[in-house]
Amino acid sequence: MKHSVTNLLRSLALLLLFVPAPLSIANAAPAMADTVAAQPAVTVPEEAEDEEEDPWTARFLAPAVVVIAVVVVGASISYYVVRVRGRYRVV
C-alpha cells in the first residue's frame, strides 16, 4: 500500500510542476498583450522596390534571333527567285 501512495505523490508533484506554468501565462497574457501591441519594439523603414532590369537574354539575344530569322527568310526568298525560278521558264 505504501508503494501506491508514493507513486500517487510523485505523479501529483509532477503534475503540479507543469500545471502552474501555463495557468500563470494564461492569466498574465492579456495584461502583456496591451502593452506589447500598443507600440512596436523597433520601427523598420519600408524599402523602395528596385526596378528589375530585363535579363541580358531578353535585351540582346531575343532581338538578335529575330533579326537573324528575318535575314534567313529574306535570303531564302531571294535564293528561290534568283536560282530556282530563273531556271525554268514557261513557254
**pLDDT tens readout for residues 4-63:** 878 877 877 776 777 765 555 555 555 555 555 667 778 888 888 877 777 777 788 888
CB-based contacts of 43, cutoff 8 Å, min separation 6: none
Q: Cell digits for 55?
A: 535579363
Instruction: Map 28-86 to HEC letters.
Output: HHHHHHHHHHHCCCCCCCCCCCCCCCCCHHHHHHHHHHHHHHHHHHHHHHHHHHHHHHH
Q: What are the domain boundaries of the chain?
A: 1-39, 55-91
